[in-house]
Structure 1
Amino acid sequence: MIAAIYKAWANFRGFDLTGSTVSPMDGPLRPNAKLDAMPVLMQLDGIDNLTAAHDGMLCSSGNDLLTLSTASDASQFELSARRSMDGPVTAIAALGESLAIAVEGRGILLESPGAASRPLTIEGLNPSCVTAMVFADPTTLFVAVGSDRHAASEWKRDLMTKSASGSVWRVDTGSGRAEKILGGLEFAAGLALSGKDIFVAEAWRHRVLALAGGSQPRVALAALPAYPGRMTPSASGGFWLAMFAPRNPLVEFVLKEDEYRRRMVDTIEPAYWIAPALVTGKSFLEPIQGGARKKLNMLKPWSPTWSTGLVVRCDDRMAMLRSYQSRADGDVHGVTSLCEAGGRLIAGARGSGKIVAIDDETAA
């Protein structure tokens, strides 16, 4: 009886009984189009894993590991070297001349000066879903694994099947010994170090965790309106955080409708699921929300969307300060990697295939 009365009252007042509401884009996340106004340094399909290395800027595009250099006028990037790997590159970490490369299906390869690359075999770690890595020192590597059940390229399937099997590992690259320091994560998608703290982006729970020593993790950021991904430290203190796709109330609702969700996963191609995406508008078969998207044949910047561009500046405790965005009608969507170089932040928008530069001092 009480439940029936509550439901009737909720329907009258418009309460959300499904728990599918999404936090508003407000405060430091107030909508803007700053990311679209930034200079484009390079157009590169599938750009991912931007990493500063001793000999230039590294990145990946599918199976290719690329080295980028700055053009003479410093306004563009040029491709200076290309290496083909045995599978899609899913993460890169560099410290000095040491390099760790994660390849889907093969695991982690270690490279150092004067030595051939060697595989790092870790029992219990899914070699197909390493999503982020960071060196703490020349022999200590922290590794984020998105899922034990799916490959990194199947991130949509991991969300829609609720696997909750992500983890964070501490690896001694010299001996090969590895320790799982946190498990049961809903897609660990990013890592950053700050003193004794390890920040971990838990994408499907829309939050960033902080680990300190052997203590229980604390929540550094929660109830985010988008899915957090990779992080990188800033030379002026604090961090940069990429959120690779926005949350959507319809997706949140579908995640609660188990029978519908299972049938969707079993019978429809992932590109056409009611699910977040790195880029949209590529096919008329994509799910849309009718008149909510366009008016007078113009795509509304505030319309519901599966993809967006979002880069957030955070302080040293991961509190958000400001953001740079590409809204529904923008063209810098699906930012998955960030890297500081030459006093600027370099952002890789994998969805749109663009590398853009953010001058934080002048653009704030």
Structure 2
Amino acid sequence: MLKQLKRARDRFFGTGEADTSVPVLDGPLKPNHLLENAEVFFQAPDLEDLCVMADGRLVVASGMTVLCVDPTGCQQTIATLAEPVQALTAYRDGLIAATRGCLYFIGGQLDGKQYQVTTSASGGCINAVCEHPEGAVIISEGSEHYPQTEWTRDLLSTGATGRVLQYWPDNDQLSVLAHGLKYAFGAVVDEQGHIYTAESWGHRIVRVANGVSSSMCQDLPGYPSRLIQAGDGGYWLTVFAPRNQLVEFVLRETGFKREMMATVDPKYWIAPALCSGQDFIEPLQQGGVRQMGVLKPWAPARSYGLVVRLGADFQPLYSLHSRVGGRHHGVTAVAEFDGALLVLSKGANKVLRLSLSDIK
């Protein structure tokens, strides 16, 4: 009874669960054009993730292939899997490529090893993997109900079935470190062995320990995803889509959401996207004013490009942007390589290159 009264009060005053406000981009998150004006390092179809191996080689997931890319942008295929690659990480002297629910070990002493992580109804929703200093593999799984390609459906369904897993390749032991997360997306381990993930629908970064998740950075203006350690301390965080008040309002209207998902093509749902501006009937266009064919950068954002530099305490220091109307949206991965920050824009299927010295 008290919950019903609180819910009614929140809806009347627009507070609590009914609050549709979104944090503004200001301070360390003040908009700029660094991502939009960045050099295009290389392009490939269906880009998803990238990482740097222990021997210094850059590897990139492109559809069902794993590419090795040299500092000039030349590509060479080193593996082709039966399903699209959804996550990559360097592991010991080799590489791990993850598909929907399976890990593939490429190169090194474990070359050719495979492990089926999940048998969930979705077929698996692995979206990030990383190596733990003690030899385990840390895995984030966004949803038990929907595959990675249906992330908007999980968002609109108020999904909270994300998990963080730990796998020991030497004895094939798998354990669940955390569950019930609002779309776990990303995995990173600090020098002390503490494990962190981004909780996308919770707009925060959490530390996972003993089955409990504690917030390290919260109330982000977008949906966070993969994060990596920065070479000089701290972290790089990717934000793959923006929040806006219309979507926040729709998320609270259960009946409308159900009817929309049942009757409307998913690409026209009122939901975030990895890219936008390519279809004249997609939502949110009435919120922007076009002059001389240019969409104003302060218009409501359906897609956006954002990378946030975090300190060791996970607080934002500065950020890199591709604003509304830009091309380099849907950022899902970053890596430091050859003195530069490489930024993967899944929305544009491009890898961007920014000199680390210029950013600083």
2:271 counterpart residue number: 275
**CA–CA distance in structure 2, aligned partners of residues 242 and 234 of structure 1:** 13
**CA–CA distance in structure 1, aligned partners of residues 113 and 163 of structure 2:** 23
Which shows bigger deviation, 190-199 or 173-182? 190-199
Whether the 8 Å CA contact 1:293–1:304 is kept in 2: the answer is no
**CA–CA distance in structure 1, aligned partners of residues 251 and 11 of structure 2:** 24
Whether the 8 Å CA contact 2:88–2:95 is kept in 1: the answer is yes
Helix, strand or coil: the match of 1:25? Answer: coil
Deviation at 1:215, TM superposition (A): 7.3
**CA–CA distance in structure 2, aligned partners of residues 21 and 183 of structure 1:** 27
Deviation at 1:8, TM superposition (A): 12
Whether the 8 Å CA contact 1:46–1:351 is kept in 2: the answer is no
Helix, strand or coil: the match of 1:227? Answer: strand
Name the aligned partner's letter for residue 28 of structure 1: P
Which of residues 143, 146, 152 is equivalent to 1:150? Answer: 146
**CA–CA distance in structure 2, aligned partners of residues 178 and 9 of structure 1:** 46
1:91 counterpart residue number: 87
2:207 counterpart residue number: 210
Q: Which runs of 5+ in 1 are unaligned?
A: 72-76
Q: Quick one: structure 1 residues 7 and 339, their matched pair in 2 at CA, closer, same or farther if it must change by over 3 Å? A: closer
**CA–CA distance in structure 2, aligned partners of residues 259 and 325 of structure 1:** 35
Q: Quick one: structure 1 residues 220 and 81, their matched pair in 2 at CA, closer, same or farther if it must change by over 3 Å? A: same
Which of residues 197, 202, 215 is equivalent to 1:200? Answer: 197
2:47 counterpart residue number: 47
Percent identity reads 30
User: Cα deviations across residues 46-100 of structure 1 (Å, max 9, x unaligned)?
Assistant: 22211112362111122222111122xxxxx111225331111111111242322
Whether the 8 Å CA contact 2:225–2:238 is kept in 1: the answer is yes
Length-normalised TM-score, structure 2: 0.91
Give the count of matched residue pairs.
351
Helix, strand or coil: the match of 1:217? Answer: strand
**CA–CA distance in structure 2, aligned partners of residues 157 and 9 of structure 1:** 27
Q: Which has the higher strand share?
A: 1
**CA–CA distance in structure 1, aligned partners of residues 11 and 87 of structure 2:** 50
Helix, strand or coil: the match of 1:220? Answer: strand
Deviation at 1:123, TM superposition (A): 5.5
Deviation at 1:167, TM superposition (A): 0.4
Whether the 8 Å CA contact 1:45–1:350 is kept in 2: the answer is no
2:230 counterpart residue number: 234
Whether the 8 Å CA contact 2:94–2:111 is kept in 1: the answer is no
1:120 counterpart residue number: 115
**CA–CA distance in structure 1, aligned partners of residues 39 and 288 of structure 2:** 30
1:26 counterpart residue number: 26
Q: Quick one: structure 1 residues 15 and 257, their matched pair in 2 at CA, closer, same or farther if it must change by over 3 Å? A: closer
Deviation at 1:296, TM superposition (A): 4.5
Length-normalised TM-score, structure 1: 0.90
RMSD: 2.4
Q: How does 1:155-234 map to 2 (within 5 A)?
A: 155-194=151-190, 195-212=192-209, 214=210, 216-234=212-230
